């Protein structure tokens, strides 16, 4: 067995698991700068290419126009006298000085391609007549050509046919393209030097601007890290300008505010739930310990068990109501959508409330009842109204009166009024929070979990309604449930009675 084989396998496996660079791990600032630089570099390259092509075409077009203008002058001069076969160019220049152009060379060919006249500077640019130029001359058209000899700069040629008394001659004018090539070379060198410099400067500016633009994002990141550590009091400074970063910071602050409120509600809910469940447990434990301290009669044990059973019922009620609220928040409560006659429902609740009121010497009456039908779940609506009536009876003084009204207009308004302890105005927004009870309520009635109004509010909102509160401390309270009419009934509201005819 090779003792090094296992080590080789380990190294091979390690090579397979070697980390691969991930582009997403690069910071956003670097990526923004690279994207900006790549786009700008592409634009610079495209601009340089277009500029080079445009300058090249423009300079070559100017050269061609210069050759055409010179050819026109030469043709007019030559057509004024017959061109001899071996006429010297200097003799022609003496009579026509406009042909003595320094940067141009002249050659005149016969149809056989033999030079009849030439300028002195043609000797170092000995360019014969091409077949293409000869064919063009025979067809009566001018021909542009470019030629290049070894060791010589390129030249541009224009061949023009001249017809004099039926005799054809071909005038060829040439000029060097060395100036054009040098200008294009200088342009290319300038672009190659200034392009990278401009791109480098743009990358530095892009890096700086990206850093400035991402400063609020970095602030949001730091705040999020502090929030992750448990500090929900952190807020971002929002810039007055309504830009994307400002809207992001404002949205972030709103989200954190909602989270802080939710966490505080959860903490308060947990504390209240623990308190409400601990109270009956404490009572049960104290009574059990007291009963076990010494032998008791069967009647004493029976009383302890009955008390424990009451506390167990109370805890079971709390757990059931908590489960209902939890399922309601998760959307797991199914609501029936059937017509419910509220007048019939209220009459049934009134009979139950009368029994409840007798135990506390409180009278429950129906002050006003208008027939009304709503669409919803009869069991939940019963629970809603019964919770309000039970609270009114519970927090009324002995000998008090609880009034129930049902009024119908465009909506149905079910009101439950009492003359009990009332609710201070500053505490009214909190009475629908789970487990919340005012100090006056706790002192007046020991029983109660503080979940009834929270459940009632959810049932009302589930039926597209709401609960309104009118109260003041020591002056009683009036709770009004506003519900929409059933669609079938709503179409009948406001319809005039049919004529007796």
3-state DSSP helix/strand/coil percent for the chain, to nearest 5? Answer: 55, 15, 30
Identify the residue with better confidence: 478 or 331.
Answer: 478
For residues 493 and 460, the answer to whether their CB atoms sit within 8 Å is no
Name the average pLDDT for the chain: 79
**Among the four given CATH numbers 3.30.450.20, 3.10.129.10, 3.10.20.30, 3.30.360.10, the one describing domain 25-229:** 3.30.450.20
Identify the residue with better confidence: 279 or 136.
Answer: 136
Does residue 37 register a pLDDT over 50? Answer: yes
Question: In sequence order, what E strands does 345-496 have?
Answer: 363-369, 373-376, 401-408, 411-418, 466-471, 477-484
Q: What CATH class is the domain 338-490?
A: alpha beta
Q: pLDDT tens across 253-279, in order?
A: 888 888 887 777 777 777 767 766 776
Mean pLDDT is lowest, of 7-21, 62-76, 236-250, 340-354, for 7-21
Backbone φ and ψ of 332, nearest 5°: -100, 0
The CATH number given to 244-329 is: 1.10.287.130
Measured CA to CA, the distance from residue 48 to residue 333 in angstroms comes to 69
Measured CA to CA, the distance from residue 355 to residue 388 in angstroms comes to 15
Tell me the pTM.
0.49
Instruction: For 423-443, give the DSSP string.
Output: --GGGGGGTTSTT---HHHHH
Does residue 243 register a pLDDT over 80? Answer: no
CATH 3.30.565.10 positions along the chain are: 338-490
Q: What integer pLDDT is reported at residue 211 of this predicted model?
A: 82
Cα angle 248-252-256, degrees, rounded to a multiple of 5: 175
Give the residue-averaged pLDDT of 276-296: 79
C-alpha distances out from residue 14 to 2, 5, 6, 22, 25, Å: 19, 14, 12, 18, 22
CATH 1.10.287.130 positions along the chain are: 244-329
Question: What's 144-185 look like in SS3?
Answer: EEEECCCCCCCEEEEEEEEEECCEEEEEEEEEECHHHHHHHH
Give the residue-averaged pLDDT of 287-294: 82
Does residue 24 register a pLDDT over 50? Answer: yes
Q: pLDDT tens across 142-198, in order?
A: 999 988 877 778 888 999 988 766 778 888 888 888 888 899 999 999 999 998 898
Q: pLDDT tens across 397-430, in order?
A: 888 999 999 998 889 999 999 988 888 888 888 8
């Amino acid at each position: 067995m090779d003792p090094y084989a296992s080590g080789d396998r380990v190294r091979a496996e390690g090579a397979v698991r070697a980390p691969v660079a991930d582009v997403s791990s690069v910071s956003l600032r670097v990526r923004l700068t690279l994207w900006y630089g790549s786009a700008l570099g592409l634009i610079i390259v495209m601009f340089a290419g277009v500029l080079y092509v445009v300058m090249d075409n423009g300079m070559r077009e100017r050269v061609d126009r210069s050759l055409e203008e010179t050819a026109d002058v030469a043709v007019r001069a030559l057509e004024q006298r017959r061109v001899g076969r071996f006429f010297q160019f200097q003799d022609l220049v003496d009579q026509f000085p406009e042909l003595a152009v320094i940067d141009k060379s002249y050659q005149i060919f016969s149809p056989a391609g033999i030079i009849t006249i030439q300028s002195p500077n043609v000797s170092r640019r000995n360019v014969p007549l091409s077949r293409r130029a000869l064919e063009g001359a025979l067809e009566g058209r001018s021909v542009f050509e470019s030629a290049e000899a070894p060791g010589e700069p390129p030249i541009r040629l224009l061949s023009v046919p001249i017809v004099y008394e039926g005799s054809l001659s071909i005038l060829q004018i040439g000029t060097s393209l060395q100036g054009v090539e040098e200008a294009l070379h200088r342009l290319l060198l300038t672009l190659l030097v200034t392009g990278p410099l401009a791109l480098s400067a743009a990358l530095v500016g892009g890096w700086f601007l990206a850093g400035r633009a991402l400063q609020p994002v970095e602030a949001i990141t730091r705040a999020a890290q502090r929030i992750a550590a448990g500090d929900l009091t952190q807020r971002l400074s929002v810039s007055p300008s309504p830009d994307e970063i400002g809207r992001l910071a404002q949205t972030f602050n709103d989200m954190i505010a909602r989270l802080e409120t939710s966490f505080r509600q959860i903490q308060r809910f947990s504390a209240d739930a623990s308190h409400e469940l601990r109270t009956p447990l404490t009572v049960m434990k104290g009574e059990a310990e007291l009963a076990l301290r010494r032998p008791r009669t069967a009647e004493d044990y029976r009383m302890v068990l009955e008390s424990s059973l009451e506390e167990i019922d109370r805890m079971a009620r709390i757990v059931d109501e908590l489960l209902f609220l939890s399922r309601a928040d998760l959307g797991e409560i199914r609501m029936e959508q059937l017509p419910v006659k509220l007048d019939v429902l209220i009459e049934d609740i009134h009979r139950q409330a009368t029994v409840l009121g007798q135990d506390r010497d409180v009278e429950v009456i129906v002050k006003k009842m208008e027939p009304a039908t709503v669409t919803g779940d009869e069991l939940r609506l019963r629970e809603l109204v019964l919770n309000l009536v039970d609270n009114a009876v519970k927090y009324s003084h002995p000998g008090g009166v609880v009034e129930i009204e049902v009024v119908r207009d465009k909506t149905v308004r079910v009101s439950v009024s009492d003359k009990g302890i009332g609710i201070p105005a500053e505490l009214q927004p909190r009475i629908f929070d789970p487990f919340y009870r005012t100090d006056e309520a706790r002192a007046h009635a020991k029983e109660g979990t503080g979940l009834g109004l929270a459940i009632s509010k959810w049932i009302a909102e589930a039926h597209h309604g709401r609960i309104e509160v009118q109260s003041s401390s020591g002056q009683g309270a009036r709770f009004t449930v506003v519900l929409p009419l059933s669609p079938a009934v709503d179409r009948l509201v406001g319809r005039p009675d049919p004529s007796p005819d």
